[in-house]
RNA sequence: GCCGAGGUGGCGGAAUCGGCAGACGCGAGGGACUUAAAAUCCCUUCCCCGAAGCGGGGGUGCGGGUUCGAGCCCCGCCCUCGGCACCA
């Protein structure tokens, strides 16, 4: 090709240049008055840990590419960025290094913002949101007050998860694996504490409705399982006197098989029902159970434990007296904290009965059962026996029949139970939004009036390694006056879970500087809800669930008018190193910076998308990035050469190898492929298609002849298709080839159906399912023609001579298969 | 234990309305250019047989099955990853 080209592709030079130019021209500022439909594409904002690693870019680059694609498709795209800036690591840094959490956090943000800018995304930085600034957390507190007014925030004493290392409580959702702290993996212990909760359980049923959102099945299933709905019956068992024990069961059909009752050790009736001679043993057991660590308690291999408390309950259906036990396999926090034990038909009850030699009464006969003892609980359906008037019924029918009977007799009623617990939002830490409440000796619990918000974090708090909340000992903070009576009062010293901050940040982006309210209602109406959300699946039962609850609560208060925050969700996979997650503490972190400095952001962006399907994640192996760099260099040379006068003269010369028609076909086929892949987030095959296109154009450029307009269409198309992925390179080449700035304001190419359509295909000829020949044929070939052609081929004939043709299978546009016997 | 996703060359991965397995890229081998190296370009690269072929055979975790035809569907296993885990 041309000898004249001297300019080399130099991303180090062109990337900063265009980033500055775009910023200067406010290319990516978005406004509500644009004449296009809006598109809100959001990626989960990063926690301000210090450095962005390649995993962050893996989340952000493809999301930016898709947002840019939508922008070129004509949408008014909001694709903002901000920082999740409250949280424990800032405080730990303060303790260990004497830096104030604010200083630490803002320093990190500074560094991360720089890294993010080098990515070359279309973030409108005027809309940046930082959750730790008073302008923001003022509204976090405001939302708390709204939830409080609505009766959705309450304070209660409860056994809660306590992380001894973080010195704070954790929400259920933040306890992972075998009872470990989500952040530091320390085993969690139980503590009885007064804490603030949000009543997410009120929305359990609605949270199970995913009909208005397009989310991955996997995430919906995780939320479903987390909410854990089960339908059953709550049934009263009689006690001496007026009292009753209520149990929850999903198997009312087994009620004739109840041989004992088990209460959770913390059950309120235990105290009253324990008889004098069992008191000591019961107390000992409760104490023992309380001391069990979460890990011990959760172990399924552990032998059942429990004690008899001396009292009996009456099965109202049979009139039988059954003993009442306590055991820690029954949880106070689920159902009623009491179960009717049916050892014959529940494995846990079975093990318990075996261990303590309690009767096992079969009421659902297994198939072919003739009265012998069971080796394990029979939990499947069967025929009802030993069940009075219900004998002989299939147990599935018995379920309803018995429930109807129980309801008719007033012994109990149908009930739904959920595994989901209320969201524990108190944290005994400094670096979070203070809960805006005051304790007054005279007035009790008093919310801080809206006009007094924000309740500011004191700057003079001391960070000591004792582990206790610095706020607790900060007098300037704790001492307050009661908003109601002006008397001396104490401020609440708990701060809010940071998931509270992230439950509304996506709404703040709509009007980030707004002073009168958390958002400007008109702008919110324009932008929300988020059309496309992307982020990690690890938030399935945390951020993603909390936020759905939050929006539903706000909707019911009339603050927002939509039901779901995020219409479409896509979860990218995890980038790993040596099959393990990146982790700062283990020194397994790759930052993008060195790669950006060496190969350019465009190459890193493209490589991250090329590794594999976005939702599958993958191994970071920097050897592969070379292939991308080579490709971008080839694009550079190809495009610049293409606009060289001599080159144009050369391709315009007629030759035997004229390819204009094929070139246009391939150009339009590529547009189709790239567009469809982009829409489906299949970035790896999109890049492969662009590479193939580049390779093809390179071949055409070597001595073949083509009409210049077709050639320029192809080259321009390549640049436009590449623009979302490699925005700097595309812009540079677009400008250098004399096109008007900016390529990012151009429309994404549209394919011509006729040109993209195939005219021929490779007909595969098989004999007995084995490939024997292939031949290019026109798409219009008929079945008869194809069969005839197949039979006539030299290569097939050899395989036909020894047998008789039994049938011929023809698959249009694919193959002919000759079956020979 | 239960639920979900997955297992394809030396590596990352393509191909799923059941129809050419291995696109694209990395790595490797060979060649061109160069005093040399880097860069770049060209060729080869699933395995076995064959001097070679646009020749034969085998091949998508394992074992069976359905089908003219199976990476894809069915049955039974094994392994990896993620989630849940005494939830009555």
> How many CA atoms within 13 Å lie on the side-chain side of A47?
13
Query: Do A629 and A738 lie in a common domain?
Result: yes
Which strands sit side by side in the sheet containing A770-778, from one edge to the other?
A770-778, A760-767, A815-820, A805-811
Q: Is residue A218 part of a domain?
A: no
Query: Do A515 and A478 lie in a common domain?
Result: no
Of A357, A390, A417, which residue sits at a domain end?
A: A417
Q: What are the tens digits of pLDDT across the range A499-543?
A: 999 999 999 999 999 999 999 999 999 999 999 999 999 899 999
Range of the domain at A375: 230-417
- Cα gap A92→A584, rounded to integer Å: 15
Which range among A264-268, A571-575, A803-807 shows the weakest confidence by mean pLDDT?
A803-807
Query: Do A195 and A103 lie in a common domain?
Result: no
Query: Could you tell me which residues come within 8 angstroms of residue A48 by beta carbon, excluding any fewer than 6 positions away?
Result: A83, A84, A85, A87, A90, A105, A108, A109, A112, A132
Is strand B less than 7 A from the beta carbon of A771? Answer: yes
Alpha helices, H only, A122-171: 134-149
Spatial CA neighbour of A693 closest among A658, A724, A666, A729: A666
CB distance A435 to A495 below 8 Å? yes
Is strand B less than 7 A from the beta carbon of A302? Answer: yes
CB distance A763 to A742 below 8 Å? no
Is strand B less than 7 A from the beta carbon of A267? Answer: no
> Can you point out the beta strands (E) in A59-152?
76-78, 82-83, 129-130
Residue A177, number of CB atoms within 10 A of its CB: 11
Spatial CA neighbour of A16 closest among A120, A132, A103, A171: A120
Query: Do A121 and A158 lie in a common domain?
Result: no
Query: Do A694 and A725 lie in a common domain?
Result: yes
CA dihedral A106, A112, A116, A122 (to 10 degrees): -20
Query: Could you tell me which residues come within 8 angstroms of residue A117 by beta carbon, excluding any fewer than 6 positions away?
Result: A19, A125
Exposure pattern of A26-41 as b/e (b: 16+ CB <10 Å)?
Answer: ebbebeeeeeeeebbb
Is strand B less than 7 A from the beta carbon of A380? Answer: no
**Per-residue pLDDT, A646:** 82
| Residue at shortest CA–C1' distance from B25 | A627
pLDDT of A56 > 60? The answer is yes
- Cα gap A134→A138, rounded to integer Å: 6
Q: Is residue A403 part of a domain?
A: yes
Chain Cα centroid distance, residue A172: 17
**pLDDT band for position A648 (cuts 50, 70, 90):** confident
CB distance A115 to A69 below 8 Å? no
- Cα gap A87→A137, rounded to integer Å: 13
**Distance measured from the CA of protein residue A100 to the C1' of nucleotide B81, in angstroms:** 40
Which tokens sit at A724?
């979302």
Is strand B less than 7 A from the beta carbon of A692? Answer: yes
CB distance A697 to A716 below 8 Å? no
Q: Is residue A468 part of a domain?
A: yes
Residue A737, number of CB atoms within 10 A of its CB: 15
Could you give the number of structural domains in chain A? 5
- Cα gap A177→A14, rounded to integer Å: 47
Residue A639 sits in a domain of what CATH number?
A: 1.10.730.10
Query: Do A752 and A765 lie in a common domain?
Result: no
- Residue showing tokens 């944290």: A427
- Residue showing tokens 């001492």: A479
Q: Is A445 exposed, middle or buried (0-12, 13-18, 19+ CB in 10 A)?
A: exposed
Residue A784 sits in a domain of what CATH number?
A: 3.10.20.590
Residue A256 sits in a domain of what CATH number?
A: 3.90.740.10
Residue A386, number of CB atoms within 10 A of its CB: 15
Overall average pLDDT of the A651-668 stretch: 86
For the range A577-580, what are the long-range contacts, defined as Cβ-Cβ under 8 Å and sequence gap of 24 or more?
A: A577/A619, A577/A620, A578/A619, A579/A619
Q: Closest nucleotide (CA of A419 to C1')?
A: B87
- Cα gap A91→A100, rounded to integer Å: 8
**Per-residue pLDDT, A3:** 43
- Cα gap A764→A769, rounded to integer Å: 10
Q: Is residue A210 part of a domain?
A: no
Q: Is A735 exposed, middle or buried (0-12, 13-18, 19+ CB in 10 A)?
A: middle
**pLDDT band for position A469 (cuts 50, 70, 90):** confident
Query: Do A309 and A287 lie in a common domain?
Result: yes
Q: What are the tens digits of pLDDT across the range A151-191?
A: 999 999 887 888 888 888 888 888 887 778 877 888 888 78
**pLDDT band for position A296 (cuts 50, 70, 90):** low
Query: Do A412 and A264 lie in a common domain?
Result: yes
Q: Closest nucleotide (CA of A576 to C1')?
A: B81
Query: Could you tell me which residues come within 8 angstroms of residue A677 by beta carbon, excluding any fewer than 6 positions away?
Result: A683, A685, A686, A689
Query: Do A149 and A176 lie in a common domain?
Result: yes
Q: Is residue A16 part of a domain?
A: no
Handedness of CA A722, A128, A141, A172 (dihedral sign): positive
Query: Do A739 and A660 lie in a common domain?
Result: yes
Is strand B less than 7 A from the beta carbon of A631? Answer: yes
CB distance A308 to A323 below 8 Å? yes
What percent of chain A is modeled with pLDDT above 70? 98
Query: Do A175 and A147 lie in a common domain?
Result: yes
Distances (CA, A) of A355 to A304, A348, A350, A631: 7, 11, 9, 69
pLDDT of A2 > 50? The answer is no
Give me chain A's average pLDDT, please: 91
pLDDT of A299 > 70? The answer is no
Residue A94 sits in a domain of what CATH number?
A: 3.40.50.620
Of A536, A569, A591, which residue sits at a domain end?
A: A591
The ipTM assigned to this model is 0.94
Which tokens sit at A170?
């954790």
CB distance A682 to A694 below 8 Å? no
Q: Is residue A602 part of a domain?
A: no
Which range among A176-190, A248-262, A321-335, A358-372 shows the weakest confidence by mean pLDDT?
A176-190
- Cα gap A514→A520, rounded to integer Å: 7
Q: What are the tens digits of pLDDT across the range A686-697?
A: 999 999 999 999
- Residue showing tokens 């594409």: A41
Query: Could you tell me which residues come within 8 angstroms of residue A63 by beta carbon, excluding any fewer than 6 positions away?
Result: A41, A43, A79, A534
Alpha-carbon Rg for chain A, nearest whole angstrom, is: 34
Alpha helices, H only, A643-778: 645-652, 660-679, 683-701, 708-722, 727-736, 753-756
- Cα gap A321→A209, rounded to integer Å: 42
More reliable by pLDDT, A351 or A298: A351
A454: preceding bond cis by omega (within 30 degrees): yes
User: For chain A, give me the number of helices (H) and strands (E)?
Assistant: 28, 34
Q: Scan residues 169-198 of chain A and list those with Cβ within 7 Å of strand B.
A: 176-178
- Cα gap A571→A54, rounded to integer Å: 16
Which range among A2-6, A89-93, A351-355 shows the weakest confidence by mean pLDDT?
A2-6
Q: Is residue A608 part of a domain?
A: no
Bridge partners (DSSP) of residue A314 are A238, A321
Is strand B less than 7 A from the beta carbon of A159? Answer: no
Spatial CA neighbour of A497 closest among A227, A207, A222, A163: A163
**pLDDT band for position A295 (cuts 50, 70, 90):** low
Q: Scan residues 776-805 of chain A and list those with Cβ within 7 Å of strand B.
A: 795
Overall average pLDDT of the A354-361 stretch: 94
Handedness of CA A769, A771, A775, A776 (dihedral sign): positive
Overall average pLDDT of the A572-588 stretch: 79
A529: preceding bond cis by omega (within 30 degrees): yes
Q: Which nucleotides of B are covered by protein (CB under 7 A)?
A: 3-5, 11-15, 19-21, 23-27, 39-42, 54, 56-57, 68-70, 81-88
**Distance measured from the CA of protein residue A32 to the C1' of nucleotide B17, in angstroms:** 43
Query: Could you tell me which residues come within 8 angstroms of residue A14 by beta carbon, excluding any fewer than 6 positions away?
Result: A728, A729, A731, A732
**Distance measured from the CA of protein residue A267 to the C1' of nucleotide B88, in angstroms:** 15
Of A395, A417, A439, which residue sits at a domain end?
A: A417
Query: Do A238 and A291 lie in a common domain?
Result: yes
Q: Is residue A616 part of a domain?
A: no
């Amino acid at each position: 090709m041309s000898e004249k080209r001297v300019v080399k592709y130099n991303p180090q030079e062109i990337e900063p240049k265009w980033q500055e130019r775009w910023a200067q021209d406010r290319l990516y500022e978005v406004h509500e008055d644009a004449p296009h439909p809006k598109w809100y594409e959001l990626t989960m904002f990063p926690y301000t840990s210090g450095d962005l690693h390649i995993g962050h870019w893996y989340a952000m680059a493809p999301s930016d590419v898709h947002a840019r694609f939508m922008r070129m498709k004509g949408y008014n795209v909001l694709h903002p960025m901000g920082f999740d800036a409250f949280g424990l690591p800032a405080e730990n840094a303060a303790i260990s290094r004497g830096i104030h959490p604010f200083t630490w956090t803002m320093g990190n943000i500074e560094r991360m913002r720089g890294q993010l800018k080098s990515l070359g995304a279309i973030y409108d930085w005027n809309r940046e949101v930082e959750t730790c600034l008073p302008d923001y957390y003022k509204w976090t507190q405001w939302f708390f007050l709204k939830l409080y007014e609505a009766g959705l925030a309450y304070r209660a004493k409860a056994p809660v998860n306590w992380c001894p290392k973080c010195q704070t409580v954790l929400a259920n959702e933040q306890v992972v694996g075998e009872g470990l702290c989500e952040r530091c993996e320390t085993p969690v212990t139980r503590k009885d504490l007064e804490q603030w909760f949000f009543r997410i359980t009120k929305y359990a049923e609605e949270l199970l409705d995913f009909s208005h959102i397009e989310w991955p099945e996997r995430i919906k299933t995780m939320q479903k399982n987390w909410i854990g709905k089960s339908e059953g019956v709550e049934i009263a068992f009689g006690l001496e006197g007026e009292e009753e024990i209520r149990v929850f069961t999903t198997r009312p059909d087994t009620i004739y098989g109840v041989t004992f009752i088990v209460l959770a050790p913390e059950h309120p009736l235990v105290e009253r029902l324990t008889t004098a001679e069992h008191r000591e043993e019961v107390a000992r057991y409760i104490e023992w159970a309380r001391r069990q660590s979460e890990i011990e308690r959760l172990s399924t291999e552990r032998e059942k434990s429990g004690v008899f408390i001396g009292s009996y309950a009456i099965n109202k259906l049979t009139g039988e007296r059954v003993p009442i036990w306590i055991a820690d396999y029954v949880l106070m926090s689920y159902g009623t904290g009491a179960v009717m034990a049916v050892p014959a038909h529940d494995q846990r009850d079975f093990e318990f009965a075996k261990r303590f030699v309690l009767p096992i009464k079969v009421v659902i006969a297994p198939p072919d059962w003739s009265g012998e003892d069971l080796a394990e609980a029979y939990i499947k359906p069967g025929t009802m026996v030993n069940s009075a008037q219900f004998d002989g019924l299939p147990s599935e029918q018995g379920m309803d029949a018995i429930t109807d009977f129980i309801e008719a007799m007033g012994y109990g009623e149908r009930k739904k139970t959920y595994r989901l617990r209320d969201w524990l939002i108190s944290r005994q830490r400094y670096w979070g939004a203070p809960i805006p409440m005051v304790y007054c000796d005279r007035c009790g619990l008093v919310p801080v009036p809206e006009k007094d918000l924000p309740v500011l974090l004191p700057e003079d708090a001391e960070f000591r390694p004792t582990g206790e909340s610095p706020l607790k000992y900060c007098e300037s903070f704790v001492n307050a006056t009661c908003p109601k009576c002006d008397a001396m009062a104490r401020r609440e010293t708990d701060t809010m879970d940071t998931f509270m901050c992230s439950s509304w940040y996506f709404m703040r982006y709509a009007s980030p500087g707004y002073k009168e309210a958390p958002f400007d209602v008109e702008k919110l109406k324009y932008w929300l809800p988020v059309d496309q959300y992307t982020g990690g699946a690890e938030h399935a039962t945390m951020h993603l669930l909390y936020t759905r609850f939050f929006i539903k609560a706000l909707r019911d208060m009339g603050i927002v008018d939509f039901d779901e925050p995020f219409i479409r969700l896509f979860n990218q996979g995890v980038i790993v190193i040596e099959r393990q997650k990146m982790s700062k503490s283990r020194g397994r972190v790759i930052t993008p910076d060195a790669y950006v400095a060496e190969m350019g952001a465009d190459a890193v962006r493209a490589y991250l998308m090329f590794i594999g399907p976005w939702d599958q994640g993958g191994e970071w192996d920097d050897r592969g990035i070379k292939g991308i760099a080579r490709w971008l260099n080839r694009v550079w040379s190809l495009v610049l050469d293409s606009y060289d006068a001599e080159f144009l003269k050369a391709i315009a010369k007629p030759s035997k190898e004229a390819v204009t028609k094929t070139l246009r076909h391939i150009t339009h086929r590529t547009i189709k492929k790239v567009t469809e892949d982009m829409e489906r987030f299949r970035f790896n095959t999109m890049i492969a298609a662009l590479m193939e296109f580049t390779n093809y154009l390179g071949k055409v450029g070597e001595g073949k002849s083509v009409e210049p307009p077709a050639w320029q269409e192809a080259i321009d198309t390549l640049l436009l298709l590449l623009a979302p992925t490699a925005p700097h390179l595309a812009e540079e080449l677009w400008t250098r080839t004399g096109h008007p700035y900016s390529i990012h304001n151009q429309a994404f190419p549209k394919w011509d159906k006729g040109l993209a359509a195939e005219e021929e295909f490779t007909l595969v000829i098989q004999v007995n399912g084995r490939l024997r020949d292939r031949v290019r044929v026109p798409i219009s070939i008929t079945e008869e023609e194809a069969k005839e052609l197949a039979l006539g081929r030299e290569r097939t004939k050899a395989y036909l001579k020894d047998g008789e043709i039994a049938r011929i299978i023809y698959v249009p546009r694919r193959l002919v298969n000759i079956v020979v016997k």
